[in-house]
Amino acid sequence: MGELVFIGLGLFDEKDITVKGLETARAADTVFAEFYTSSLRGTTPETLRLMVGKPIRVLSRKDLEQGSDVLEAARHGTVALLVPGDPMAATTHVELRLRANEEGIRTRIVHGPSIVSAAAGLLGLQSYKFGRATTVPFTDEKFRPVSPLEVIEENRARGLHTLVLLDLKEGGGFLTAPEAIQYLLDLAREKRSQAFTEDTLVCVLGQAGSDSPRIAAGRAGDIQKRNLGRPLHCLVIPGELHFMEKEALVKLAGAPKDL
Amino acid sequence: MGELVFIGLGLFDEKDITVKGLETARAADTVFAEFYTSSLRGTTPETLRLMVGKPIRVLSRKDLEQGSDVLEAARHGTVALLVPGDPMAATTHVELRLRANEEGIRTRIVHGPSIVSAAAGLLGLQSYKFGRATTVPFTDEKFRPVSPLEVIEENRARGLHTLVLLDLKEGGGFLTAPEAIQYLLDLAREKRSQAFTEDTLVCVLGQAGSDSPRIAAGRAGDIQKRNLGRPLHCLVIPGELHFMEKEALVKLAGAPKDL
């Protein structure tokens, strides 16, 4: 029986993999990658191939959910599955791991940097003051989930910060920060909630993991109109701010001084 | 003016740094490291020195808080500051970054794997179902903070999981998982809280980031008596479990099947 190793690619480019992750991929018999649960904006599958030094088969969502090619390869040798960020954030990864486990295939995780902790660090916010995270999906007239607003509401009521991830489409297409902010504003208006208004302080993070991440903080009504750079973006809605957190948001993210 | 780069060392050994982090450290004029905010159990400063290929000055807590040597070096060249996990989890890091910023020294973060996301992944729990995290400190008769229990209580009331980090002492000394569980049991008894009893399901994670992390799940009263391997440990107290999360805890962590 072989082994299935989930390897985190980290946040931005081909150099955000750990040394352990790279060595493991180089030593594997078969290398797969998937980019539909998230996206590495600073690199291409071809660059990754050159770095790993062997062919990499990029899996579609369907391939990964189906899983049979990965499991088949892992029955006979060591398989590396490269995934953006830190592995196992998606249920599909956990499901695949359990299926491998069931068959007696050894599984292992080589961790990579995750936006969950990077967002706090880039903004100078304290990680233990974050409540649960949420995602704003692509919405339409029929699909308008209230959960992102509810999570922000629940966290703010406890003085906690909220990490808001923005959805992406397989094969490209990102929900932009202004779109996500507009959705939250509309939702709060409909639900008569005060948890997210034009005056709410919002932090926007772009290109996290790159040499020059784009960081901005401002009132929801203002920040929507700014040029926030290229995707992938995420938002952080701060709760109560400690003195040093305030200073960090003003100095590092250009938040208004009268916070 | 120079540059100060905070580089995450990740979870366990010298190979948990990213390729970008290693290249940045190798190219820096001066390399510092600190191991008091957390600890890399699988390596030594000497091994890191060999890997980076240049001297590394290990900073004490006092050195880091004082910060003058780091800032002095960063005025004239590129400084790499190596820290366990993902940087900026400690207020001291944020403070140092703000001081550098104030002086016109450019700052940058090279992210590393963090226990905040790794704990969820290793246990097969969904990251977005974690509420705020907490730390159990070393306690004595006078210092018995209620906050860890309160955080668990607050999260459980909302069906959320809690990551519980265990404190460590500068220069060695770790709070063990059984000690932390005992403290939570005592505290809950004193406060007549039902949020943490002998029947509460607890997951214990040891040696995260290594090739064979130690993962266990069981009732608080049982798991305390087991051999949980060497530190560093952390705990996860699950909230409501999704079907696949249950399956993961039973199959990967040996949780009781009657969850």
Q: Which two tokens mark A198?
A: 């034009």
Nearest Cα residue in chain B from A132: B131
Percent of chain B residues past pLDDT 70, beyond the cut? 100
Q: Count how many pairs of residues, chain A against chain B, have C-beta atoms within 8 Å.
A: 172
Q: What are the tens digits of pLDDT across the range A5-39?
A: 999 999 999 999 999 999 999 999 999 999 988 88
> What residue ranges do the domains of chain A occupy?
3-110, 115-253
Which of B15, B16, B94 should one mutate to test binding to chain A, selecting the residue with the greatest count of A CBs within 10 A? B94
In chain A, what residues touch B245 (CB-CB under 8 Å)?
94
Question: What CA–CA distance (Å, rounded) separates B235 from A183?
Answer: 36
Among the partner-chain residues B13, B19, B128, the one whose CB lies closest to the CB of A22 is: B19
Q: Which residues of A touch B135 (CB under 8 A)?
A: 128
Rounded mean pLDDT, A173-185: 94
Q: What is the pLDDT of residue A111?
A: 98
List beta partners, residue B57: B32
Q: Identify the architecture of domain A115-253 in CATH.
A: 2-Layer Sandwich (3.30)
Q: Minimal CA–CA distance to A92: which of B244, B243, B123, B247?
A: B244
pLDDT for A41-54, tens place per residue?
A: 899 999 999 999 99
- How close B230 gets to chain A, by Cα (Å)? 19
Q: Which residues, 6+ apart, have CB-to-CB distance to B251 below 8 Å? A: A98, A101, A102
Amino acid, single-letter form, for residue B158:
R
DSSP category for residue A156: H
Give the pLDDT confidence score for residue A208 in this predicted structure: 95
* Structure tokens that stand for A11 in this block: 């946040």
Nearest CB among B98, B108, B132 relative to A128 is that of B132
Can you tell me the mean pLDDT for A161-175?
90
Average pLDDT of every residue of chain B: 95
Using CA atoms, how far apart are residues A210 and A44, in angstroms rounded to an integer? 15
d(C-alpha A167, C-alpha A112), whole Å: 20
Q: How many CB atoms sit inside 10 A of residue A128's CB? A: 18
Residue of B9, B17, B81, B132 best to disrupt the A interface, most CBs of A under 10 A: B132
Q: With beta carbons under 8 A apart, name residues in chain A contacting B112.
A: 18, 113
Domain A3-110, what architecture? 3-Layer(aba) Sandwich (3.40)
Residues of A in contact with B8 (CB under 8 A): 113
- Residue-by-residue pLDDT tens, chain B, 259 positions: 799 999 999 999 999 999 999 999 999 999 999 998 888 889 999 999 999 999 999 999 999 999 999 999 999 999 999 999 999 999 999 999 999 999 999 999 999 999 999 999 999 999 999 999 999 999 999 999 999 999 999 999 999 999 999 998 877 789 999 999 999 999 999 999 999 999 999 999 999 999 999 999 999 999 988 888 888 899 999 999 999 999 999 999 999 998 8
- Flag whether pLDDT at A172 surpasses 80: no
| Three-state DSSP state, B235 | strand
CA distance B12 to B43: 7
What is the reported pLDDT for A38?
84
* Residue of B16, B124, B134 with shortest CB distance to A128: B134
Note the pLDDT tens digit of each residue in A213-259: 999 999 999 998 888 888 889 999 999 999 999 999 999 999 999 88
- A108, A113, A124 ranked by CB distance to B18: nearest: A113
Query: Cβ–Cβ of A124/B98 closer than 8 Å?
Result: yes
Residue A106: predicted pLDDT: 97
pTM exceeding 0.95: yes
Residue A65, token pair as written in the block = 């959910």
Q: Which candidate from B108, B116, B154 shows the least CB-CB separation from A158?
A: B154
Looking at residue A94, its pLDDT comes to 97
Looking at beta carbons, which residues of chain A come within 8 Å of B78? Answer: none
Give pLDDT, residue A181.
Answer: 97
CB contact under 8 A, A244 and B91: yes
Whether residue A232 is preceded by a cis peptide bond, meaning omega within 30 degrees of 0, is: yes
Residue A79's pLDDT band, with cuts at 50, 70 and 90, is very high
Q: What whole-number distance in Å separates Cα of residue A190 and Cα of residue A159?
A: 23
Q: Tell me the residue ranges of DSSP E strands in chain A.
A: 3-8, 30-34, 57-59, 78-83, 106-110, 134-136, 162-166, 201-206, 214-219, 233-237
